[in-house]
Amino acid sequence: MTEKKPGFDTLAIHAGCAPDPTTGARATPIYQTTAYAFKDAQHAADLFALKAFGNIYTRIMNPTQGALEGKVAALEGGSAALAVASGHAAQLLTFHLLMRPGNEFVAVRQLYGGTINQFNHSFKSFGWNVVWADGDKPESIEAALSDKTRAIYIESIANPGGAVMDIEAVARIARKAGVPLIVDNTLATPYLCRPFEHGANIVLHSLTKFMGGHGNSMGGVIVDGGNFNWAESGNYPLIAEPNDSYHGVNLYAAMGPMAFAIAARVLSLRDLGPAIAPMNAFMILTGMETLGLRMQRHCDNALQVAQWLEKHPKVAWVNYAGLKSSKHHTLQKKYAPKGAGAVFTFGLKGGHQAGIDLVAGVKMFSHVANIGDTRSLIIHPASTTHSQLSPEQQVKAGAGPDVVRLSIGIEDVADIIADLEQALA
């Protein structure tokens, strides 16, 4: 008789967390400490040599952080995870392990504006080059590959346009090329989509958004799928070749399916340093206990709001994969059957100025540069989150001049619609 696998909501509450062994505290404590006492000199030496696993210094790991990592890894179905200071930090550490100066990675244009900016500009300082493709046309990803390619990057559900990516099609391309597929799963969360089940190798999140869910703490996470052969191509020396900083240890040979997550911790996080604060890890842990409940309410509300906007005479178009009219609806049913998420865009017939006027006219909606909050949020991307992009790049990213982005909260849906209605009037 096989043991029953816990359900999603059970994992969201219990995975990674147990009563504190010293005090019996049932909630995970906030371990607000910088360092940890070693048992003896040999114990300290073994920790630093990776011969034993444990706490050394909170920049590298912390028990509160560890509980968060265990919970996220369980929900995503990954082999291990590393929590860091933000979603951008998770991207930086991931590419730090994969890339060398002159290397390339392929990314789709349907991405968060801050990610596009990081890839286009900041990564150039490291000599890492992005090659852009169209997420709606997987063949364009394959055409962008070269012998310099070290990864493919997509979002499961794209921010801000809500496009759903064909993960399986992109994963086939990545496998054929011998490079890992990285999926940013922030908008979907593992409640709606588990990219590893569709062939992804690394999953990233901005924990700041739906995972924490309350708009009170910054965080990011890298989840290792444990399903990529880092030694086969010879292109990933930090992971699969002897490492000088650990006396020649080959992390892939030593750590197996957890090698990427361990390398991200003991190499990239150790030296680049974007550690998550214990307090933030605690707040996100607490928020994640209600992830399934919140995400379903987000999706149910968002669908009703999108259907209402689609019929409004002042609205030119609505881009939400949950609508039957969406070109991504079939993919949404395949990859996120419980719902299309809470974030979507629409355009007003009055164009750029009408969008700005709407943002100024709402009362309950919060005008903030964030998504994934319990509260309903609104922004005009072209003048804010995507303002660093050229007009052409804004349109390609789904953030053209007429676009308004909504992140639908978990308030009563009638009140959400009423606020939009009075502002549109």
Residue 125 CA to residue 118 CA, distance in Å, equals 10
Instruction: List all residues 6 or more positions away from 126 whose beta carbon is below 8 Å from its beta carbon.
Output: 95, 96, 99, 101
Q: For residue 23, how many other CB atoms are within 10 A of its CB?
A: 8
Is pLDDT at 81 greater than 80 in this prediction? yes
Confidence of residue 181 (pLDDT cuts 50, 70, 90): very high
pLDDT of residue 142: 98
pLDDT of residue 170: 98
Contact 206, 217 (CB under 8 A): no
According to DSSP, the β-strands at 202-206 and 149-155 are unpaired
Contact 193, 203 (CB under 8 A): no
Residue 345 CA to residue 362 CA, distance in Å, equals 16
Residue 99 CA to residue 180 CA, distance in Å, equals 12
The tens digit of pLDDT for each residue in 264-321 reads 999 999 999 999 999 999 999 999 999 999 999 999 999 999 999 999 999 999 999 9
Mean pLDDT score, 91-103: 98
Task: Write the DSSP assignment of 311-341 as a string of letters.
Answer: T-TTEEEEE-TTSTTSTTHHHHHHH-TT---
Residue 295 CA to residue 378 CA, distance in Å, equals 18
Residue 137 CA to residue 108 CA, distance in Å, equals 9
Residue 402 CA to residue 425 CA, distance in Å, equals 17
The tens digit of pLDDT for each residue in 240-249 reads 999 999 989 9
Radius of gyration of the chain (CA): 22
pLDDT of residue 86: 98
Backbone angles phi, psi at 14, to 5 degrees: -105, -25
Which residues are 130's β-sheet partners? 105
pTM of the model: 0.95
pLDDT of residue 365: 97
Strands (DSSP E) found in 188-338: 202-206, 220-224, 315-319
pLDDT of residue 2: 61
pLDDT of residue 68: 98
Contact 118, 88 (CB under 8 A): yes
Is pLDDT at 389 greater than 80 in this prediction? no
pLDDT of residue 210: 98
The tens digit of pLDDT for each residue in 187-200 reads 999 999 999 999 99
Residue 107 CA to residue 112 CA, distance in Å, equals 12
For residue 410, CA distances in Å to 101, 135, 170, 297 come to 45, 30, 33, 6
pLDDT of residue 352: 83
Residue 324 CA to residue 71 CA, distance in Å, equals 34
Which amino acid, one-letter code, is at 266? V
Is pLDDT at 383 greater than 90 in this prediction? no
Residue 74 CA to residue 190 CA, distance in Å, equals 10
pLDDT of residue 390: 82
Q: Which two tokens stand for residue 169?
A: 């099609």
Average pLDDT of every residue of the chain: 95
Residue 68 CA to residue 87 CA, distance in Å, equals 15
Instruction: List all residues 6 or more positions away from 62 whose beta carbon is below 8 Å from its beta carbon.
Output: 31, 33, 55, 275, 278, 281
Max CA distance (Å), the chain: 73
The tens digit of pLDDT for each residue in 101-112 reads 999 999 999 999
Q: Which two tokens stand for residue 347?
A: 């355009």
Residue 339 CA to residue 356 CA, distance in Å, equals 28
Contact 295, 409 (CB under 8 A): no
The tens digit of pLDDT for each residue in 125-162 reads 999 999 999 999 999 999 999 999 999 999 999 988 88
The tens digit of pLDDT for each residue in 400-422 reads 888 999 999 999 999 999 999 99
Residue 139 CA to residue 209 CA, distance in Å, equals 31
* Backbone dihedral region for residue 423 (phi beyond 0: left; psi -120 to 50: alpha; all else: beta): alpha
